[in-house]
């Protein structure tokens, strides 16, 4: 496969997120990763060292003076709290082997919200378990959500292993519980690593305190797991959510030659800018616009003032089309013949994120990419039982519940099944009164297609 004149750096980034209950040590773990992989700036480290000393930080159960690595994460978070609906910031760091983007979410109580948000685009999620507590209901919930989100790699870090005296039997018991839950919900190949985020054991370097553990350190795992971009995104059917319509005479037109080989003059330039969400597109390809169904073919692909023959996920480009069709921001340009019917009836899995419960008959807003339409909750079709991992009957959903619902949309959206399209199959449910996020939704097939309502996709 050749990708010409394209920025490849983006596709080699590895996206990961952390999930865990409050105080499991997410911030400390992230701080430790940044610190030991030497990814933090010296002045930041100085500031954190001073603040830790001022506070007499000794860590949980620790006696010696240490630096509070959680400050690295929390301090950076505070700088960018913006009151946006979904509060995830992305942090970049690099080791010799790989560049990382970490979806950095506040811990707090709304753990499901943060897990969903951070994990929905991740190549991997690190689930933290406190070695003293083992697998809790929240661990089961996190693993269920990750399965729903189809996160390609799940790594479990059994943290605070120092607080159980680095005991192998404690670790093995937790490892067995994790594997049992994973098998029950159909997550395969879960790696379980014993770590101490505070002391640094098995985070970046393998630890002498756990001679019985022969696997890789957490960073080794993160450096070697395959990325979704490399494996999947280029192979899926082409999808291109339109972020910006560039109109004729627009100041936004790129610096193209006066006329290119498709005969488009600068003054007539009309293009659709966005990021290739999945698959690839070449000049000459037939495309269909969702939800309108209009068709055309691609006559030009522009990137930073140059023209390309082909673009692949996750490149950001502008597409020029053979016909002037009505395309709005939020529409999706797709390869012709690769999607089902666009419908106003939506069947979805919902991760309910609000203290305001979901009830049948509620009116909500459905936000998909940059489009928002009204929706009516016609039926709650099930709620996940975290013991059996089956969908049981329910008439509503409460905070942190995972369930399924049927929603009637006021107008069709270019939404597809999440199982087929991770990036175009997800949406948010918004409270029409105050604009708060109520739920994250994942589009599923019509339930009639599945006789068995058991939790599996």
Ligand X SMILES: Nc1nc2c(ncn2[C@@H]2O[C@H](COP(=O)(O)OP(=O)(O)OP(=O)(O)O)[C@@H](O)[C@H]2O)c(=O)[nH]1
Dihedral (CA of 252, 254, 260, 261) sign:
negative
Q: Which residue is nearest to ligand X (CB)?
A: 107
Q: Does 198 bind ligand X (CB under 6 A)?
A: yes
Least distance (Å) between residue 216 CB and ligand X: 18
Smaller CB separation from ligand X, 163 or 276: 163
For 24, 357, 389, 401, 415, the CA distances from 352, given in Å and listed in that order, are 22, 8, 17, 5, 19
Continuous segment of H or E residues that includes residue 170: helix 168-185
Site string for ligand X, 105-144 (x = CB under 6 A): --x-------------------------------------
By beta-carbon proximity to ligand X, the closer residue of 157 and 246 is 157
Binding-site member from 34, 135, 163, 384 for ligand X (CB under 6 A): 163
Instruction: Give the C-alpha distances (Å, rounded to integers) separating 356 from 26, 83, 399, 451.
Output: 27, 19, 7, 31
Instruction: Answer yes or no whether residue 202 interacts with ligand X by CB under 6 A.
Output: no
Whole-angstrom distance, CA of residue 216 vs CA of residue 213: 9
* Burial class, 257, CB count within 10 angstroms (exposed 0-12 / middle 13-18 / buried 19+): exposed
Kindly write out the interface string for residues 69-88 of this chain, putting x where it contacts ligand X by CB under 6 A and - elsewhere: -x---x--------------
Is 160 a binding residue for ligand X by CB under 6 A? The answer is yes
Residue 61 near ligand X by CB under 6 A: yes
CB of 128 to ligand X, least distance (A): 7
381 binds ligand X per the rule CB under 6 A: no
CB of 398 to ligand X, least distance (A): 22
Based on CB atoms, which residue is closest to ligand X, 159 or 381? 159
Could you tell me if 345 and 409 are in contact, meaning their C-beta atoms sit under 8 angstroms apart?
A: yes
Nearer to ligand X, 16 or 418 (CB): 16
CB 172 within 8 A of CB 164: no
Q: Does 60 bind ligand X (CB under 6 A)?
A: yes
- Of the candidate spans 157-165, 247-255, 327-335, 359-367, the one that interacts with ligand X by CB under 6 A turns out to be 157-165
CB atoms within 10 A of CB 443: 22
Angle, alpha carbons 12-15-18 (nearest 5°): 155
If binding is defined by CB under 6 A, does position 197 make contact with ligand X? yes
Cα–Cα distance measured from residue 130 to residue 132, given in angstroms and rounded to the nearest whole number: 5
CB nearer to ligand X: pick between 138 and 280: 138
Q: In 76-222, which ranges are E strands? A: 89-94, 99-104, 124-130, 153-159, 191-194
Q: Which of 52, 110, 196, 217 binds ligand X (CB under 6 A)?
A: 196
Query: Minimal distance in Å, beta carbon 228 to ligand X?
Result: 24
Q: Which helix (H) or strand (E) holds 297?
A: strand 295-303
Coil, helix or strand for 100? strand
Cβ pair 231, 152 in contact under 8 A? yes
Please tell me whether residue 200 binds ligand X under the rule CB under 6 A. no
Q: Which is nearer to ligand X, 23 or 431 (CB)?
A: 23
Contact in structure between 26 and 333 (CB atoms under 8 Å): no
With respect to ligand X, which residue has the nearer C-beta, 27 or 170?
27
- Least Å from the CB of residue 356 to ligand X: 23
Name the minimum Å distance from CB 106 to ligand X.
7
For the chain, helix (H) and strand (E) counts, in that order, are 8, 24
Smallest separation (angstroms) from ligand X to the CB of 195: 7
Minimum distance, C-beta of residue 57 to ligand X, in the bound complex (Å): 8
Residue 274 near ligand X by CB under 6 A: no
d(CA 324, CA 322): 7
Task: Please give the residues from 19 up to 58 whose contact with ligand X meets the rule CB under 6 A.
Answer: 20, 22-28
According to DSSP, residue 331 is labeled: -
Binding site for ligand X (CB under 6 A): 20, 22-28, 59-62, 70, 74, 107, 159-160, 162-163, 196-198
């Amino acid at each position: 496969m050749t990708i010409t004149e394209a920025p490849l750096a983006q596709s080699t980034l590895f996206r990961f997120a952390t999930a865990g209950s409050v105080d499991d040590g997410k911030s400390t773990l992230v701080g430790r990763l940044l610190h030991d992989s030497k990814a933090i700036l010296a002045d930041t480290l100085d500031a954190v060292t001073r603040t830790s000393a001022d506070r007499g930080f000794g860590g949980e159960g620790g006696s010696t003076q240490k630096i509070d690595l959680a400050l690295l994460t929390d301090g950076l978070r505070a700088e960018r709290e913006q009151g946006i609906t979904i509060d995830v910031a992305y942090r970049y760091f690099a080791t010799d082997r790989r560049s990382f983007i970490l979806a950095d979410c506040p811990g707090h109580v709304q753990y499901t919200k943060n897990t969903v948000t951070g994990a929905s685009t991740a190549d991997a999620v690190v689930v933290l378990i406190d070695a003293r507590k083992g697998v809790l209901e929240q661990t089961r919930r996190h693993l269920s959500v990750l399965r729903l989100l189809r996160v390609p790699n799940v790594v479990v870090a059994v943290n605070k292993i120092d607080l159980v005296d680095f005991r192998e039997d404690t670790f093995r018991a937790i490892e067995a519980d994790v594997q049992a839950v994973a098998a029950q919900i159909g997550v395969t190949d879960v790696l379980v690593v014993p770590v101490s985020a505070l002391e640094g054991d098995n985070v970046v370097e393998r630890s002498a305190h756990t001679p019985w553990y022969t696997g890789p350190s957490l960073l080794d795992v993160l450096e070697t797991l395959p990325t979704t971009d490399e494996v999947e995104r280029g192979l899926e059917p082409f999808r291109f959510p339109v972020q910006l319509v560039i109109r004729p005479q627009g100041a936004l037109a790129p610096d193209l030659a006066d006329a290119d080989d498709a005969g488009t003059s600068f003054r007539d330039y009309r293009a659709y800018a966005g990021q290739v969400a999945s698959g690839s597109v070449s000049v000459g390809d037939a495309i269909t616009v969702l939800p309108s169904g209009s068709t055309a073919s691609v006559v030009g692909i522009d990137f930073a003032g140059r023209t390309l023959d082909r673009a692949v996920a996750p490149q950001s480009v502008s597409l020029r089309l053979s016909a002037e069709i009505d395309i709005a921001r939020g529409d999706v340009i797709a390869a012709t013949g690769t999607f089902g019917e666009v419908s106003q009836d939506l069947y979805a899995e919902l991760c309910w994120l609000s203290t305001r419960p979901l009830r049948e008959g509620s009116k909500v807003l459905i936000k998909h990419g940059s489009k928002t339409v009204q929706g009516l909750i016609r039926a709650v079709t099930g709620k996940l039982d975290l013991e059996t991992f089956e969908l049981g009957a329910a008439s509503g959903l409460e905070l942190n519940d995972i369930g399924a619902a049927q929603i009637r949309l006021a107008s069709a959206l270019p939404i597809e099944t999440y199982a087929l399209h991770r990036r175009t199959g997800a949406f948010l449910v918004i409270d029409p009164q105050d604009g708060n996020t109520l739920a994250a939704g994942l589009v599923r097939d019509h339930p009639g297609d599945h006789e068995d309502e058991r939790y599996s996709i």
